[in-house]
Amino acid sequence: MIIKIALIGLGNVHKRLLKIIDDKKQRIENEYDLTFQIVMIADSTGVAVKEDGYNEKFIIDHKAANKSVKDLPDFIEARTVHDVLKDLDCQLVFESSPVNLKTGEPALSTVKTALSRGISVVLANKGPIVMEFSKLHQLAQQNNAGLAYSATVCGGLPVLNIAKRDMIGADISKIRGVFNGTTNFMLDGMLNGMAYDDALKEAQERGAAEADPSLDVEGWDTAFKLVIIANSMLGANIGLKDVDVNGITNITQQQLETEAAKGNTIKLVASAEDGKYSVKPMVLTKDDFLGQCNGWEMAVEIHTDIYGINYHKLWEREPIPTAASMLRDAVNIFNSK
Ligand SMILES: NC(=O)c1ccc[n+]([C@@H]2O[C@H](COP(=O)([O-])OP(=O)(O)OC[C@H]3O[C@@H](n4cnc5c(N)ncnc54)[C@H](OP(=O)(O)O)[C@@H]3O)[C@@H](O)[C@H]2O)c1
């Protein structure tokens, strides 16, 4: 089956997704009978459409040469992603444009347009699903479209999938986690003598930090993930306003060293328990599971009534696992249709 794709955003995540789609093409065809054909691409300069499909390597090389979508012969002048999607022949949208903390736009409108037309959507961008969780699920269901966003939470760690697929009948009483690799790396880096700015710069160079890194260091990225997790896994129906959010901007090297001397560590911890949701730096002992989540790791702890306490951890230094999660979501959607 050929799946025609609109790829929105050509940054850190989608450049890696393009490479994965190219590298794994034959395997996905053999194992799932799915062929992904990218017929539309978009970056901040606009949209281009090629009905017989783009070559993935060509797009990667085009961006690596510092060129943009507007430099392509198939660039469509004066039309937005939203306009083009209204009548594009495609079955799937991959959305990885920058997150918009206030409105979720322009991605939110794009996602609504796609789902209304029965086009499935896979997100790495958390904005749309944080802003309109119920509405988007309703639209997807009404129009028999897939909607998946496992890449929005802890990169390649299949947190949402574990809860949905592998915890049938569970009541989850508590979730704790370290959900942001950038800040976790920065805290470790600072303890090991790196300056705050140098640690952040390394995270940016690796493509792990948000385009606006204040979203990482002020705790908002973690809060977004907590909202998605709470709504998906706990049926919570919460928004950002329900989360008490503090970041790592006030954490000093001296505090980290003082706690380390006592055998402790400081982590940016997200927690959901008893209807209370918070993101804050916490002093943890080294034998705490989250206290052992170091550097480029992310982790989640899920407390259940019948599946015990589940502990999961991932090492992700650049967003290859995040991009792979988008492939996973896409295959799961079309494999189950
Ligand atoms: N990086 C990670 O580790 C990671 C992990 C999980 C989730 N995410 C999420 O994934 C999304 C993408 O992250 P990223 O690191 O790939 O970001 P990025 O490197 O900043 O790339 C963003 C891409 O979106 C394009 N863009 C900007 N405005 C656009 C618009 N209005 N319409 C279409 N495209 C637009 C940019 O265009 P130009 O190329 O012209 O600048 C760029 O290609 C974000 O929402 C982020 O929160 C990222």
Ligand 1 within 6 A of 211 CB?
yes
Dihedral (CA of 79, 80, 83, 86) sign: positive
pLDDT 10s digits, 171-206: 999 999 999 999 999 999 999 999 999 999 999 999
Q: What local confidence, expressed as pLDDT, does residue 264 receive?
A: 98
**Distance between CA atoms of 1 and 107, rounded to whole angstroms?**
27
**Residue of minimum CA distance from atom 27 in ligand 1:** 44
Q: Is pLDDT of 78 > 90?
A: no
pLDDT 10s digits, 147-179: 999 999 999 999 999 999 999 999 999 999 999
| Catalytic residue (choose from 15, 225, 267, 313) | 225
**Residue of minimum CA distance from atom 20 in ligand 1:** 211
> Are 14 and 122 spatial neighbours (Cβ–Cβ below 8 Å)?
no
Q: Averaged over 131-136, what is the pLDDT?
A: 97
Q: What local confidence, expressed as pLDDT, does residue 182 receive?
A: 96
**Distance between CA atoms of 227 and 160, rounded to whole angstroms?**
12
Q: 25 an active-site residue?
A: no
Ligand 1 within 6 A of 319 CB?
yes
**Distance between CA atoms of 147 and 140, rounded to whole angstroms?**
6
User: What's the pLDDT band for 74 if we cut at 50, 70, 90?
Assistant: very high
**Distance between CA atoms of 33 and 210, rounded to whole angstroms?**
34
Q: What local confidence, expressed as pLDDT, does residue 23 receive?
A: 98
**Residue of minimum CA distance from atom 2 in ligand 1:** 208
pLDDT 10s digits, 280-334: 999 999 899 999 999 999 999 999 999 999 999 999 999 999 999 999 999 999 9
pLDDT 10s digits, 230-239: 999 999 999 9
Calculate how far, in angstroms, residue 4's C-alpha sits from the geometric centre of ligand 1: 21
**Residue of minimum CA distance from atom 28 in ligand 1:** 44
User: What's the pLDDT band for 12 if we cut at 50, 70, 90?
Assistant: very high
- The whole-chain average pLDDT of the chain stands at 97
pTM over 0.95: yes
| Separation in Å, CA 201 to CA 53, 213, 281 | 36, 10, 21
Percentage, residues of the chain above pLDDT 90: 97
Calculate how far, in angstroms, residue 212's C-alpha sits from the geometric centre of ligand 1: 10
Q: Is pLDDT of 337 > 80?
A: no
* Residue of 154, 210, 228, 296 to mutate, ligand 1, most atoms within 8 A of C-beta: 210
**Distance between CA atoms of 116 and 130, rounded to whole angstroms?**
18
Ligand 1 within 6 A of 304 CB?
no
Domains of the chain: 2-155+320-335 (3.40.50.720), 159-315 (3.30.360.10)
Q: What local confidence, expressed as pLDDT, does residue 11 receive?
A: 97
